[in-house]
Chain A
């Protein structure tokens, strides 16, 4: 009898443990699996606390620059366009996708009628024009570059807007599906000016209540919202908790209900917790190693000649890449939870969703050694690799160090804090650094600023007339098939030049309590809380 009881207890224990793991693993955590929402019915009321991995910057769509800030905006500032779960652009405040004239230089779109900002002001075409021009012109605007092709904007009717462009600019729709497409209350803009950041007012499911720097941003359900009946929560609180361990501990204790941007290690720990569930989506960005091939005078200056084997000899760069095994990096550093990548365009990108833009070369140490010999360089080739100060970044550095050593490289790692790293790499004081980008919907947003000779973020000092020409063509080509070809060619060319060796693509992992439903996580990595709430 006693033996039977022990056996039963053991079975129960094993079952409860596997049930805990299975609930998470079944749908989302298998590599390649995706889970963007939980469709269970939601009850009205309650407060949802979302933990962010950093404190957002200014809550002004024109000035804002951080990814976490975009997550907060997703709760309170709707845009002219949005993306859906397939990465397709859909209208949000606009009535339909924009109409573009034959020469690509006039774009018109209509706005939904009867919409109100959180301060009660009506949304009309004039409001949209005011916001667009502010995004383009305000001193310090982080939107100025992406709206630079905009020559003018005017209201041609109470709810129709006409934009004139300096040249055809295909990425515009994708740009309007991000912060440039956020429309701010003209009343609030007039009243607060640059101080709008402390009194933001947009059209959205929730309205701004208060912000305590470093602690929380509180939003409350907005009765003026056009679909207020679909909003279930009373309040959403965003809390910055930079440490992943602490974020996870708070999820476990129930102090927070949503953990944004969880690292693979934390997700693996979360798998053992029966009270938590996981959402994930592929990211639009990339991570890799930037190589200094010509940045001598700093960002935005004319690239020059650098006399290191890595910068001088394309064969050395090729050898460096061939020494790296992307699958192994993913397995060892990221628990197999990210995806190997070899180009700037994510398969999730709007241009060709689901299409793999590039094929990764296999690791080939023998060929790498041969290439180094052909290049006639003295081995080991010494390279200093700057890595950021996160545990994952240093693990990545160590793995790269070990792999490339076999081919004849001597990589030394220099952990560098974020702001210092930006300054040193932008000014060209480096050999190699871990470089990444959170990604944009349109491939242009992942390429132009980085790979063009005069690109604002071309810290690699890359200068290639073919790339420059293809970037320009990609921006103006309206035919999607033709565009896809251009970006395939661009990817190929970028791979050949190797200013940046693409290594992997992150995935957005969001962990929530099991009682939370209706949260949506799409390819742009933002946590959408419009339909979120507690499961009935």
Chain B
């Protein structure tokens, strides 16, 4: 087992290094000189030259990469060329916000999506199913930006229940935190809720017509036990798989949501860095995201191998 984990760990490190190379080269392939983006309208040749020199932009790309990776190993992701703030600080500040947003959206998607899916399946052919289907269609088709602005107009301006923007850490003021996070979570979670609803409905319909459900009914179990204990439990396997696949979309969807609600999360950090050609921040952000993906994959693989020893590398030998 330890050997397996070590091998996977080694592979992950190699993947991370390869990813960092691709990211590094990719960012530099973007059109638009970072020195120009930084200098903006006041671009004197002297200022541009000094900016290039101070961030080592004139050096060969291999030297630049070596310097970047050398610092990154020690945890130093450099300083933002735009603000002069350390990239690591920016990432540490932004990450919890996006994670909280994603978690809340997931919670919303799961409760609303699974609930509506069950109702739609159980009340098949009734107005409830029609309503749930219509909501799911809306959730999938409404553009995020539009939904965000409408919710702000409705629930932050006309009926000022929630806040239109900004972030307050949960630890500082839990109530204020939720006031600011509910609307973004609805916006981000609505699409996922629709997907979950559809999956749940389809899986539940399958289960409800299965033999074991008929048997359960014949045995005289209550409706609640049949639906909750038998049909739903079996349907959830599919739903959970879909949820896992959709998690990535949740993080990428946060980019737009964070712009609308002015949440200083990972998405906003990335977008700002792209537009200002802030290489250091962009590299840091992409590297951290890649590391997170690789880590999650590693954990999943390890978990699988614990569940099913046949998956273990070299297990066949």
Contacts and interface: CB of A to CB of B under 8 A. Distances in A.
Interface of A: 55-60, 63, 65-67, 139-142, 144-145, 194-195, 197-198, 211-216, 239, 241-243, 245-246, 249-250, 252-256, 299-300, 417-420, 422-424, 426, 436-438, 449, 456-457
Contact of A215 (B36, B160, B259, B264): B264
A216 B31 CA distance: 29
Interface in B10-49: 31-34, 36-47
B93 A253 contact: no
B85 interface: yes
B54 interface: yes
A439 to B, nearest CB: 10
Interface stretch (B223-231, B268-276, B297-305): B268-276
Contact of A253 (B31, B34, B39, B156): B156
B80 interface: yes
A256 B160 CA distance: 14
Contact of B83 (A58, A250, A256): A58
A147 B44 CA distance: 12
18 contacts: A57-B38, A65-B39, A65-B47, A142-B47, A145-B47, A195-B84, A214-B90, A246-B152, A246-B261, A252-B164, A253-B156, A256-B165, A418-B37, A418-B275, A419-B32, A419-B37, A423-B36, A426-B43
A58 B33 CA distance: 18
B46 A214 contact: no
From B40, B44, B260, B277, residue with most partner A Cβ within 10 Å: B44
B47 A417 contact: no
B105 interface: no
A143 to B, nearest CB: 9
A456 B47 CA distance: 10
A253 B272 contact: no
Contacts of B164: 249-250, 252-253, 255
Contact of A249 (B32, B34, B54, B152): B152
Contacts of B34: 419
A306 B112 CA distance: 63
Nearest to B269: A214
Interface of B: 31-34, 36-47, 50-51, 53-54, 80, 82-85, 89-90, 93-94, 149, 152-153, 156-157, 160, 163-167, 259-262, 264, 268-269, 272, 275-277
B48 to A, nearest CB: 9
A239 B262 contact: yes
6 nearest A-B residue pairs (beta carbon): A419-B32, A215-B264, A140-B50, A419-B37, A253-B164, A197-B84
B46 A145 contact: yes
Contact of A417 (B32, B46, B153): B32
A63 B83 CA distance: 10
A139 B50 contact: yes
A145 B38 CA distance: 17
Nearest to A419: B32
B277 A419 contact: yes
Contact of B165 (A246, A417, A456): A246
Nearest to A217: B83
B44 A249 contact: no
Contacts of A194: 84
Given A65-B38, A255-B166, A422-B33, A249 B47 contact: no
Would you call the interface of chain A mostly helix, strand, loop, or mixed?
loop
Contacts of B47: 65, 140-142, 144-145
Contacts of B85: 198, 211, 213
B33 A419 contact: yes
B157 A249 contact: yes
A214 B259 CA distance: 11
Nearest to A55: B272
A456 B46 CA distance: 9
A142 B42 contact: yes
B260 A213 contact: no
Contacts of B44: 142, 144-145, 449, 456-457
Given A145-B47, A418-B37, A60 B42 contact: no
A170 B157 CA distance: 51
B262 A139 contact: no
Contact of B93 (A213, A250, A449): A213
Contacts of B38: 57, 65
Given A60-B84, A198-B84, A214 B272 contact: yes
A253 B152 contact: yes
Contact of A423 (B32, B40, B89): B32
A280 to B, nearest CB: 22
Contacts of B54: 139-140
A426 B36 contact: yes
Nearest to A300: B45
A422 B37 contact: yes
A530 B14 CA distance: 55
A313 to B, nearest CB: 30
A253 B50 contact: no
B264 A212 contact: yes
Contacts of A197: 83-84
Contacts of B167: 215
Given A418-B275, A424-B31, 17 more contacts: A55-B82, A55-B272, A57-B38, A57-B82, A58-B82, A65-B39, A140-B53, A194-B84, A197-B84, A211-B83, A212-B93, A213-B85, A239-B166, A255-B166, A299-B45, A422-B33, A449-B44
B152 A420 contact: no
Contacts of A438: 41
A253 B260 CA distance: 14
A214 B268 contact: yes
Contacts of B33: 419, 422-423
A213 B284 CA distance: 14
A254 B46 CA distance: 43
A245 B147 CA distance: 13
Contacts of B80: 213
Contacts of A242: 259
A423 B36 CA distance: 7
A243 B163 CA distance: 17
A253 B163 contact: yes
Given A213-B90, A256-B165, A249 B45 contact: no
A272 to B, nearest CB: 12
A250 B166 CA distance: 10
B149 A253 contact: no
B150 to A, nearest CB: 10
A198 B83 CA distance: 9
B277 to A, nearest CB: 5
B37 A55 contact: no
B84 A456 contact: no
B82 A246 contact: no
Contacts of B260: 243, 246
Nearest to B264: A215
Contacts of B163: 253, 255
A441 to B, nearest CB: 15
